[in-house]
Structure 1
Amino acid sequence: MEAPQYVAARVQQALAEDARTNELGIRVDIRGDQLFLRGQVTGAGQRERLGQVAHEVAPELHVHNEINVVEANVPGEDEHLD
């Protein structure tokens, strides 16, 4: 069986290179037969696509999509940090 870090690297590469996702900032963690996706994206559709790509690359693993969907700030809008 392939070492977990190699599977994680393959999934991460697929998330970055697949035309459906092109997502670089997603963390992939593997524990046993569980694959966890973590990070933030700006739309629910993108979150679903990431889960789909991960499942296609590692169909033998149970994918846990823990990616948060955040609202994209409108360009030019100031961010207020308290």
Structure 2
Amino acid sequence: MTPPQYLVARLRTTLAEDPRTAEQGVRVTVRGEHIVVSGDVATEQRRTELSEVIRDMAPDMVIHNDVRVVPAGEPTRREELT
């Protein structure tokens, strides 16, 4: 079995480089047979794709996708700097 720190590093690299995800801002934790991914993404599709990419790499692991969808829209008001 791959040590957890090596699996985490491989998953982070793959999530950043895979064209389906290209995510660098998510966190990955491995606890036994469980992979927990958390953070924020812009769309539900991207959230789903994170799980798919992880499942492709670690099909025997249980995936807990705690990623939140936070739409990145244009500002609704002017920001005041003081």
Q: Compute the TM-score of the two structures, normalised by the length of structure 2.
A: 0.88
Name stretches of at least 5 consecutive residues in structure 2 with no aligned partner. none
The residue number in structure 2 matching 1:71 is: 71
Correspondence 1:28-47 to 2 at 5 A: 28-47=28-47
Number of positions where the alignment pairs a residue of Structure 1 with one of Structure 2: 80
CA RMSD after TM alignment? 1.8
After TM superposition, give the deviation of residue 79 of structure 1 in Å.
Answer: 5.8
User: Whole-Å Cα distance in 2 between the matches of residues 55 and 27 of structure 1?
Assistant: 16
The structure-2 alpha-carbon separation of the partners of 1:75 and 1:38, relative to structure 1 and needing over 3 Å to count, comes to same
Q: Give the share of equivalent positions with the same residue, in percent.
A: 40
The reply to whether residue 13 of structure 1 matches residue 9 of structure 2 is no
User: Whole-Å Cα distance in 1 between the matches of residues 78 and 43 of structure 2?
Assistant: 21
The structure-2 alpha-carbon separation of the partners of 1:51 and 1:78, relative to structure 1 and needing over 3 Å to count, comes to farther
User: Whole-Å Cα distance in 2 between the matches of residues 45 and 79 of structure 1?
Assistant: 30
User: Whole-Å Cα distance in 2 between the matches of residues 40 and 69 of structure 1?
Assistant: 6
Name stretches of at least 5 consecutive residues in structure 1 with no aligned partner. none
Where does structure 1 differ by over 6 angstroms across 4 or more consecutive aligned residues?
A: none
Larger Rg: 2
Please give the per-residue CA displacement for 1:42-79, whole angstroms capped at 9, x wherever unaligned.
Answer: 10000000110011111121011000001213158546
